[in-house]
Amino acid sequence: MKGYVISVRGQIVVVEFPDEQPEIGDVLHLADDDTAVLEVLSSGKAKTYFCIALRDATKFYRKAPLVNTHDGVKVPVGRDLLGRVINVFGEAQDGQQPLPKMEGRLVRKWQRGGVVVKKEILETGIKVIDVFAPLLKGGKMGLFGGAGVGKTMLLTEILHNVVGKVGRDRYYSVYAGVGERSREGLELWQSLKETGVLPFSSLIYGQMGENPAVRFLSAYAGVTLAEYFRDIEKRDILFFIDNVYRFAQAGNELSVLTGSIPSEDGYQSTLESEMAMFHERLSSTIDGVITSVEAIYVPSDDLLDHGVQSIFPYLDSMLVLSRDVYQEGRTPAVDILGSTSSALSPRYVGDHHYEVVLMARSLLKRAQSLERIVSLVGENELSAEDQVVFRRAKKLKNYLTQPFFTAEGQRGIKGVYVPVADAIKDVNAIISGQHDALDDDVFLYVGKMSDIVHG
| Residue-range domains of the chain with CATH | 3-71 (2.40.10.170), 75-342 (3.40.50.300), 350-453 (1.10.1140.10)
Enumerate the β-bridge partners of residue 40. Answer: 51
Identify the pLDDT of residue 222. 95
Query: Percent of the chain scored above 90 by pLDDT?
Result: 57
Mean pLDDT, range 205-228, rounded to an integer: 92
Catalytic annotation present for 91: no
State the DSSP H helix or E strand holding residue 236, giving kind and residue range, or none if neither.
strand 236-242
Q: What is the mean pLDDT of the chain?
A: 89
Q: How confident is the model at residue 167 (pLDDT cuts 50, 70, 90)?
A: low
pLDDT at 209: 84
- The CA distance from 387 to 418, in Å, is 29
* Least trusted range by pLDDT, from 92-106, 166-180, 330-344: 166-180
pLDDT of 31 higher than 80: yes
Q: What is the structure's pLDDT at 188?
A: 86
On whether the CB atoms of residues 219 and 272 are closer than 8 A, the answer is no
Mean pLDDT value of segment 436-453: 86
* pLDDT surpasses 60 at 113: no
Q: Any residues with CB less than 8 A from the CB of 134 and at least 6 apart, and which?
A: 121, 122, 317, 341, 343, 344, 348, 349, 420
Q: Is 47 a catalytic residue?
A: no
Task: Please give the pLDDT value at position 44.
Answer: 79
Angle at 307 between CA 330 and CA 242, to 5 degrees: 50
Over residues 164-169, the mean pLDDT reads 64
Read off the DSSP letter of residue 332: S
Share of the chain above pLDDT 70, in %: 96
- Whether residue 1 is predicted with pLDDT greater than 60 in this model: the reply is no
Which residues lie closer than 8 Å to 413 by C-beta, 6 or more apart?
A: 403, 407, 445
Mean pLDDT of 126-131: 96
Q: What is the pLDDT of residue 449?
A: 87
CA distance 397 to 399: 5
Q: How far apart are alpha carbons 314 and 282 in whole angstroms?
A: 10
Tell me the CA distances in angstroms from 412 to 7, 155, 282, 407, 415, one per residue in order.
Answer: 56, 20, 36, 8, 9
- Alpha carbon distance 218, 215 (integer Å): 5
* pLDDT at 425 (0 to 100): 95
Per-residue pLDDT at 394: 94
pLDDT digits (tens, 9 = 90+) for 316-365: 999 999 999 999 989 999 999 999 999 999 999 999 999 999 999 999 99
> Do the beta carbons of residue 397 and residue 330 sit within 8 Å?
yes
pLDDT number for residue 114: 58
Residue 35 has phi, psi (to 5 degrees) of -90, -10
pLDDT (0 to 100) of residue 162: 87
Q: List the catalytic residue out of 151, 246, 392, 397.
A: 151
Q: Is it the case that residue 11 has pLDDT exceeding 70?
A: yes
pLDDT at position 42 over 90: no
Catalytic-labelled residue, pool 9, 47, 101, 181: 181
Q: How many whole angstroms separate alpha carbon 17 and alpha carbon 32? A: 17
Active site residue 84: no
What Cα–Cα distance (Å) separates residue 395 from each residue in 5, 327, 388? Answer: 66, 17, 11
Q: Which residues on neighbouring strands pair with residue 321, listed in sequence order?
A: 334
pLDDT value at 429 more than 80: yes
Reported as a pLDDT band with limits 50, 70 and 90, residue 204 is: very high
User: Containing H/E element for 3?
Assistant: strand 3-9
Comparing 82 with 165, which gets the higher pLDDT? 82
- How confident is the model at residue 166, as a pLDDT? 60
pLDDT at residue 427, as a whole number: 96
CA angle centred on 301, ends 300 and 306, rounded to 5°: 80
Nearest to 136 by CA among 347, 421, 401, 406: 347
Residue 186 has pLDDT above 90, yes or no: no
SS3 307: helix
Which of the following is catalytic: 39, 123, 157, 180? 180
Distance CA 55, CA 210 (A): 9
